[in-house]
Amino acid sequence: MDLKEYTFIVFGEVYHYNPLGVVRSLGEEGICPILIAYGEREHVVSSSRYVKRSHHVKTIEEGYRILKDMYCKSIKKSILIVCDDIVNSYLDEHYDEIKDYFYFNNAGKQGRISKYQNKLVSNELAEKCGMRVPKTWFVKRGEIPKNLTYPIITKPITSYAGWKKDYYICNSEIDLKNAYEAVGCGEMILQTYIKKKNEFSVDGIVWNQGKEVFVSVKTLYTYLLPDYYSMEMVHSSFNDSEIQTFLERMFEEIRFEGIFSIDILIDENNNKWFLEINYRNSAWSYASTKLGMNLPVLWAKGMIDGSIGENVRKQVPDNYIALAEIMDFDLRVRKYHFINIFQWFTGVLKADCLYVWNWGDLKPVAVAWFSKLIRKIRRK
């Protein structure tokens, strides 16, 4: 099987390093994908040397029309890789229209991905499959349950524009009321806030209607933030049988096929708590490519051939550091002042994997940093 004979399409935000990592993962295997990039930010992803052809659109709906009008070909299915939850949900809602033309993240039936992206549904399933889940309340904005115990954290039920900003840690009813004034959704969940010792994620792929699960790496964060994850991480080989069993049960129940990541919290007693699962490519998946486990390519093989081959799993070197350098600068240097610019630069030089800087693909680096500089000047 020669994957270069297939059309690969990457659908994601115009600026984000998630689709940039997918484009580079494919390009480094000699596969130049078509890019459908939505949004009105700078064209970071499309500036990659590996992009064969790019379509820039303002909305996901416009991107979908291009996908359907130009790339629905019945001769051979194309591989469609999705890079965010909102696109994932939109394609899931149109599953019946495009299922015969693309291999893409799916659960075998229209609407099932969206169903399990709902955090209430995924929490219930996670508990059924053997994971601890924090106590959860479903509320409409402004509602305060009588049996609520603090601290709690607000969480969107599903993804929407700006959803990542709607996580608030509330230590009192006053905090919760203030959070309700700021959030952009009408319904959400409140969860018991569990003080974390750390958190980790795993990246992988699933094919054969949820029956085959391959996990490439475990990702442990190097610093803690109260309401966000760190941008520096240590990747290690995955050998957690408890999480492997959990994933196999969950994905077979869903009948999921796709690239995924899952987030797990570790509390002060070393208990593992389910946080969330992403039924699409993770922003961190490019590290797996650097480590010899190219998830977009492996997933395409699994979907087309039913097998990803033998000896796919690679040993991860000790203390393998990956860094999302631009966001790390914004968080650790500018916002929280954890480190100074010289310490940050030293960390960049020591990192084994960077998510923006790439010697083989420098134009996106220039576009990203230049646009950041321009925005800073405009704010002044």
- Domains for the chain: give ranges and CATH numbers: 3-113 (3.40.50.720), 135-192 (3.30.1490), 196-371 (3.30.470.20)
Helix 241-254 × helix 119-128 angle, to 10°: 120
Between 60 and 157, the higher pLDDT residue = 60
**pLDDT of 319-365, one tens digit each?**
999 999 999 999 999 999 999 999 999 999 999 999 999 999 999 98
- Sorting pLDDT into bands at 50, 70 and 90, what band is 157? confident
- Sorting pLDDT into bands at 50, 70 and 90, what band is 39? very high
Q: What confidence score (pLDDT) does residue 367 get?
A: 86
Residues with Cβ within 8 Å of residue 368, at least 6 apart in sequence: 15, 42, 44, 326, 356
Q: What confidence score (pLDDT) does residue 380 get?
A: 54
Of the candidates 134, 138, 157, the one whose C-alpha atom is nearest the C-alpha of residue 273 is 134
On the 0-12 / 13-18 / 19+ scale of CB atoms within 10 A, 341 is exposed
Mean pLDDT for the stretch of residues 105-119: 95
Please state the separation of Cα 314 from the chain's center in Å.
22
- Mean pLDDT taken over the chain: 93
Does 369 have pLDDT greater than 80? Answer: no
Q: What confidence score (pLDDT) does residue 227 get?
A: 62
| Identity at 3, one-letter amino acid code | L
Model's pTM, two decimal places? Answer: 0.91
Does 164 have pLDDT greater than 80? Answer: no
